[in-house]
Chain A
Amino acid sequence: MANPGGDAVCNGNLHKHEKQSDGSPSGNCAKNGIVKEAQQNGRPHFYKPIVESFEEAPLHVMVFTYLGYGLGTLFGYLRDFLRSCGIEKCNAAIEREEQKDFVPLYQNFENFYTRNLYMRIRDNWNRPICSAPGSRFDVMERVSDDYNWTFRFTGRIIKDVINMGSYNFLGLAASYDESIRTVKDVLEEYGLGVASTRHEMGSLDKHEELESLVAKFLNVEAAMVFGMGFATNSMNIPALVGKGCLILSDELNHASLVLGARLSGATIRIFKHNNMQSLEKLLRDAVIYGQPRIRRAWKKILILVEGIYSMEGSIVDLPQIVALKKKYKAYLYIDEAHSIGSVGPTGRGVIEFFGLDPRDVDVFMGTFTKSFGAAGGYIAGRKDLVDYLRVHSHSAVYATSMSPPVAEQIIRSMKFIMGLDGTTQGLQRVRQLAKNTRYFRQRLNEMGFIIYGNEESPVIPLLLYMPAKVAAFARHLLNRKIGVVVVGFPATPLAEARARFCVSAAHTREMLDTVLENLDEMGDLLQLKYSRHRKSTRPELYDETSFELED
């Protein structure tokens, strides 16, 4: 990848580089049994079967959901009519008087939705909190006097709300205690700001230390860290691919990947979520037909996937993607924002979850914001890739480097997970997270809720469907001192509004039981137990008719 003008047809020789020297990783990856074994064998022959469900809603639920949106839309038109007549005051953004004759700015569906549907239930989003996002947090109470157009704080604080919404998988985002002392020491020594970029004078020994630790953690040759997770994706993809390259992107990829892919100028094609038949069809077409019109071979083909998809809770089907990537000689870029630290027996992400060789993936990307309780992101992989990015990535050239206390917090968390702090607490946290996840998912399933995703993913979407239920669900649960995240239209399909629980290792069994008990009552009150254990909405078998015949 460091040689973009190289061989156009062959997308890199995947096994050309030498085997890693045994000395460096093995010493610190003593617990990393599966990955090491897989590497030594050359090819592991057992992959974990993927158990994922995307249960279809009963018909009457979908009918009422659409009727509900229909009613909201009707009243939205009525209100818009009243506003344009001047009967009602318009609180939303409007064009100025002198702009009226130009192209209308606020007439598309998104604006209509925000103004007339989202605004009615806006109090369930963006609630301000005033404590560390640990397993319990404090929420600031607020009320609205004009139906959610403006809010007013009452000054009261809702104490000790159980936090089911933060991506604090290992419970490492917590308020100050003795274990964070090293971060304080670094703050005293280095200060906060670096005031330069990595490319120029902003490389500190803390960054070097962190990068070697990340490489060790992931069992790869090299790694590079960036100060912002979102920019890690959106600024590094353009450095890796460009015009004449092809990006195959999962339809549910995060906005940062989408932005990066668009900025790169490469051709983007979307495959169905986690659907290998769809991906293979695109890969085969790309190899056979090449670039449109000129029919030259693509310079590079890059597959963009995520480890855990944050809205669906599904885990990428990595063994099959690796097999496809090897077959068609494409590159693989995997965004482990949610999966690093949270899945796999020792928290090393989806690679360890499936027991694959880290060299099978070309570019590892991940963030430190979730499991590590800090900020920033990393790119890891082969040394030549990382060296190339050090020179060419916009994040390295133009962005101020990571603040040293943040780097120290990541180092501390990573050592904690790896067991380098001399305890097994980190490992216990990872185990606890897996245990909590299985328990929570199993109980929700038993209660009859429709939940999406892989049974081992700590992101658990619970389907609510109807817009009024979304609002009622979040309000009732906050009254019962449980903070949940509900997700609606722009982030999900219109009819599939959901609540998203994020299980943490910091949740005790009592907390989970309290939440489950309340969810059970909510499910009965709001009639949320839709599940009939029907077939998946995304069946494994691809629709055969959309294929060309095999030769």
Chain B
Amino acid sequence: MDFKRVKDYFSWLYYQYQIISCCAVLEPWEQSMFNTILLTIFAMVVYTAYVFIPIHIRLAWEFFSKICGYHSTISN
């Protein structure tokens, strides 16, 4: 029962995606091509985020803590 509702929701979501992105008017092979490209881009974005964001956050943290630490020593 609950499973069916989730399934309905996802099919509704996919239909909305098709209608709004205009890929509903494409032919099936074009649609799969578009979906593949979009998924690839999305996956790459997620992977890049996973790999690089922790590093950037750590670097930024070090950078700002250094500035803040520097300032704090001056004020003292």
Say whether A105 faces chain B, with CB atoms less than 8 Å apart: no
- 19 A/B residue pairs, CB under 8 Å, sorted by A: A64-B20, A67-B22, A68-B20, A68-B21, A71-B21, A71-B23, A71-B34, A72-B22, A120-B25, A147-B27, A466-B19, A466-B22, A467-B25, A468-B19, A468-B20, A468-B25, A471-B24, A526-B19, A527-B19
Instruction: Point out the residue from B18, B19, B25, B30 that lies within 8 Å of A121, measured CB to CB.
Output: B25
Q: Determine which of A69, A120, A472 lies in contact with B19 in the assembled complex, contact meaning CB atoms within 8 Å.
A: A472
Cα distance A32–B26 when bound, in Å?
55
Whether B24 pairs with A75 at a CB distance below 8 angstroms is: no
- In the complex, B16 has a CB within 8 A of chain A: yes
Given A75-B26, A468-B20, output 17 extra A-B contacts at Cβ < 8 Å.
A68-B22, A71-B21, A71-B22, A72-B22, A75-B34, A78-B30, A120-B26, A147-B27, A468-B19, A468-B22, A468-B24, A469-B19, A471-B25, A472-B19, A526-B19, A527-B16, A527-B20
A72 to B26, CA, bound (A): 8
A residues in contact with B27, CB < 8 Å: 120, 147
Closest to A70 in B: B22
A residues with CB within 8 A of B: 64, 67-69, 71-72, 75, 78, 120-121, 147, 466-469, 471-472, 526-527
Please report the C-alpha to C-alpha distance between residue A37 and residue B24 in the assembled complex, in whole angstroms. Answer: 57
Chain A min CB distance to B70 (Å): 44
User: In the bound complex, how far is the Cα of B30 from the Cα of A147, in angstroms?
Assistant: 12
Nearest CB of chain B from residue A250's CB, rounded to whole Å: 32
Task: Kindly list chain A residues whose C-beta atoms are within 8 Å of the C-beta of B20.
Answer: 64, 68, 466, 468, 527
**How far is A71 from B23 in the complex, measured between Cα atoms in Å?**
8
Q: How far is the CA of A64 from the CA of B17 in the complex (A)?
A: 11
A67: chain B residues within 8 A (beta carbon): 21-22
Nearest Cβ distance between residue A475 and chain B, in whole angstroms? 10
- Give chain B nearest CB distance to A13 CB in angstroms: 58
A472→B16 contact, CB < 8 A: no
For the complex, what is the distance from the CA of A218 to the CA of B46, rounded to whole Å? Answer: 70
Q: How many A-B residue pairs have CB under 8 A?
A: 46
Assembly CA distance A526 to B27 (angstroms): 20
Q: Are B18 and A468 in contact (CB under 8 A)?
A: yes
Q: Using an 8 Å CB-CB cutoff, how does the interface string of B27-71 with A read, 1 for contact, 0 for none?
A: 100100010000000000000000000000000000000000000
Which residue of B16, B18, B22, B30 is within 8 Å of A467 (Cβ)?
A: B22
Q: Which residues of chain B are within 8 angstroms of A120 by Cβ–Cβ distance? A: 25-27
Shortest Cβ distance from B12 into A: residue: A525
Least distance between A259 CB and chain B CB atoms (Å): 32
Residues of B contacting A527 with CB < 8 Å?
16, 19-20
Tell me, in angstroms, the Cα distance from A64 to B25 when the chains sit together: 15
Q: Which residue of chain A is the closest to B23 with respect to CB atoms?
A: A71
Q: Residues of B contacting A467 with CB < 8 Å?
A: 22, 25
Q: In the complex the two chains form, what is the Cα distance from A411 to B14 in whole Å?
A: 56
Q: How far is the CB of A354 from chain B (nearest CB, A)?
A: 42
Whose C-beta in chain A lies nearest to the C-beta of B19?
A: A468
Residues of A within 8 A of B26 (CB): 71, 75, 120
Nearest 8 interchain pairs by C-beta: A68-B22, A468-B24, A120-B25, A468-B22, A468-B19, A71-B22, A64-B20, A468-B25
User: What A residues does B22 contact at CB under 8 A?
Assistant: 67-69, 71-72, 466-468
CB-CB nearest in chain B for A72: B22
A468 to B22, CA, bound (A): 5
Question: Chain B residues with Cβ under 8 A from A78's Cβ?
Answer: 30
Question: In chain A, what residue has the closest Cβ to B16?
Answer: A527
Q: How far is B21's CA from A67's CA once the two chains are assembled, in angstroms? A: 7
How many angstroms from the CA of A498 to the CA of B26 in the assembled complex? 20
- Tell me how far the C-beta of B13 lies from the nearest C-beta in chain A, rounded to whole angstroms: 12
CA distance A385 to B24 in the complex (A): 55
The closest CB in chain B to the CB of A470 belongs to B25
Q: State A131–B3 Cα separation when bound (angstroms).
A: 47
Kindly state the separation between the CA atoms of A64 and B21 in the bound complex, as whole angstroms. 7
Chain A residues near B25 (CB, 8 Å)? 72, 120-121, 467-468, 471
Interchain CB contact (< 8 A) of A75 among B16, B18, B30:
B30
Write the nearest CB–CB distance from A228 to chain B, whole angstroms.
Answer: 36
**Bound Cα distance from A435 to B65, whole angstroms:** 72
* Residues of B close to A71: CB separation below 8 A: 21-23, 26, 34
CB of A344 to closest CB in B, whole Å: 41
Among residues of A, the one whose C-beta sits closest to the C-beta of B27 is A147
Q: Which residues of A contact B24 (CB under 8 A)?
A: 468, 471-472
- Cα(A147)–Cα(B31), bound, Å: 14
Residues of A within 8 A of B30 (CB): 75, 78
Bound CA span A496–B35, Å: 26
How far does the Cβ of B18 sit from chain A's closest Cβ, in whole Å?
7
Could you say which residues of chain A place their CB within 8 Å of the CB of B18? 468
- Determine how close the nearest CB of chain B comes to the CB of A143; give it in whole angstroms: 16
Nearest-CB distance from A61 to chain B (Å)?
9
| CB-nearest residue of chain B to A121 | B25
CA distance A468 to B23 in the complex (A): 8
- Min distance, Cβ B56 to any Cβ of chain A, angstroms: 29
Q: Find the A residue at minimum CB distance from B20.
A: A64
Closest B residue to A64 using CB positions: B20
**Which residues on A sit within 8 Å (CB–CB) of B21?**
64, 67-68, 71, 468
